[in-house]
Amino acid sequence: MPGSAVLIPAYCPQPNLIQLVRDLHDRGFTQIVVVDDGSGADFRATFDAVAAIPHVRVLRHAVNLGKGAALKTGINYLLGEFPNLQGLVTADADGQHHPDDILAVSRRFEAQPEHLVLIWSDLSSHG
C-alpha cells in the first residue's frame, strides 16, 4: 500500500475524474485529496461522487483561485492531517496521468524519499 498521498487540483473537471480517483483507491492509495477550485454548481455531482469514494477528501474553494492556490490548499491540508506523510504525488484531473504512472512515482519516491521524483508520461503508452 503506498505511503504517499495523491493531490488532484480540479477546475471544471470531466466525469472521468471519478474513475481516476476510483482507480487510485483500487491501487491502494488511502490518502487522496481533490481540491475543487471553484468549479461551481454544475460540477457538484462529480465532486460528490469523488467524495463518496473511501479515503478521499474533497476540499473546496468558493471561487477559482488557480492551480497554484489549489495545490497550496491541498498541501496544507495534508501536512496538517498527516504530519508523518512520506510523500506527495500531484496529478491532473483531466486524465493526463495514468493511475499506474502515479503509483510508479509514489513507489519511486518511497524508495528514495530524499529525492524529488519527476516522470514524463507518454499518453500513447496507455492506449
Q: What CATH number has the domain bearing residue 8?
A: 3.90.550.10
pTM: 0.89
Q: What is the chain's alpha carbon radius of gyration, rounded to the nearest angstrom? A: 14
The answer to whether residue 125 scores a pLDDT higher than 70 is: no
Q: Are strands 56-61 and 87-90 parallel, antiparallel or unpaired?
A: unpaired
Domains in the chain: how many in total? Answer: 1
Can you give the residue range of the structural domain that contains 39? Answer: 4-126
Residue indicated by cell numbers 488532484: 8
Where does the pLDDT of residue 37 fall: very low under 50, low under 70, confident under 90, or very high at 90 and above? very high
Q: What is the pLDDT of residues 69-94, one digit of tens each?
A: 999 999 999 999 998 888 899 999 98
Q: What is the pLDDT of residues 53-73, one digit of tens each?
A: 999 999 999 999 999 999 999
